[in-house]
Amino acid sequence: MAPPATRFLVLSDIHANGTALDAVLEAAAARWDRAVCLGDLVGYGPDPNEVIERIRTLGATAIRGNHDKAGCGLDEAEDFNDIARQAVMWTRQQLHPENRDYLRKLPAGPLEVDGVVLVHGSLHDEDEYVFAPAQALPGLLDAPTPVCFFGHTHFQSGFSFRDGKLEVLHLHPASTVQFTALRIEPGTRYLLNPGSVGQPRDGDPRAAFAIADLVHHVVEFWRVPYDVRAVQQRMRRAGLPEPLVLRLSHGR
Ligand code: ZN
């Protein structure tokens, strides 16, 4: 059996953006020994097969997101808006059968891996958006490990809980730096979102991810620039909806 991971590469919401994923893997090179993915490998972006194949090659431990369920046909995308549903239909047409099968077999969160818990939305509902402290509290209280990673909102963000006090953490690195580091304190519980690799919505168009070193009690929250225009060109060629193309420029 492989030894437990000491440094996790934490990816979420890649959304079929192969160029952003490449930039992340280049920046993170040799800094991690186990990759995990919090869901939404596909949807919105132009590279669903490439992203799935890359995640499989990395040997990443992945859970499913709502776009993975819709893209492989496990979910009919009835609660998606028109634009998102158009992207779902395009993704379904593109997926190679073996990649569709890979998505169909992805487990739902929560999934515990080497001392951390992975969820897509929240601990109790894989499709819930956790933006506010009240939404974070049940996960902070009930997660089986002190550190739980979540995605789905596309905001690099987090919460901590200690001695009855919930704190909102500011983890987003300034535009002039590549990462901010969070010290993990013993006795404190954390709910942490690495941000979205392929479609950030927190106002920073750079690709987001995290590196968690639980031996040294530190989680780094990274942002790296990538060639947004190259992705936008592929999206336009594929006929994906223009609002999805434009939002990548603004990270909103
Ligand atoms: Zn997503």
Is the model's pTM score more than 0.85? yes
Strand-pair category, 179-183 with 147-149: unpaired
Fold of 7-250: Purple Acid Phosphatase; chain A, domain 2 (3.60.21)
- Residues around the ion ligand 1 (C-beta < 5 A): 13, 40
> Positive or negative CA dihedral for 16, 17, 20, 22?
positive
Q: What is the average per-residue pLDDT within 13-36?
A: 97
pLDDT at 2: 65
Q: Measured in angstroms, how far is the CA atom of residue 166 from the centroid of ligand 1?
A: 25
Considering only CA atoms, which of 152, 148, 198, 202 is closest in space to residue 174? 202
Considering only CA atoms, which of 66, 184, 50, 56 is closest in space to residue 116? 184
Residue type, position 168, single letter: V
Which H/E stretch holds residue 191? Answer: strand 189-193
Q: What is the average per-residue pLDDT within 175-201?
A: 97
Considering only CA atoms, which of 45, 42, 63, 43 is closest in space to residue 53? 42
Q: Measured in angstroms, how far is the CA atom of residue 124 from the centroid of ligand 1?
A: 17
* 117-160 confidence digits (pLDDT tens): 999 999 999 999 999 999 999 999 999 999 999 999 999 999 99
* 38-65 confidence digits (pLDDT tens): 999 999 999 999 999 999 999 999 999 9
Q: Is the pLDDT of residue 4 over 80?
A: no
* 82-126 confidence digits (pLDDT tens): 999 999 999 999 999 999 999 999 999 999 999 999 999 999 999
CB 149 within 8 A of CB 196: no
Q: Measured in angstroms, how far is the CA atom of residue 232 from the centroid of ligand 1?
A: 18
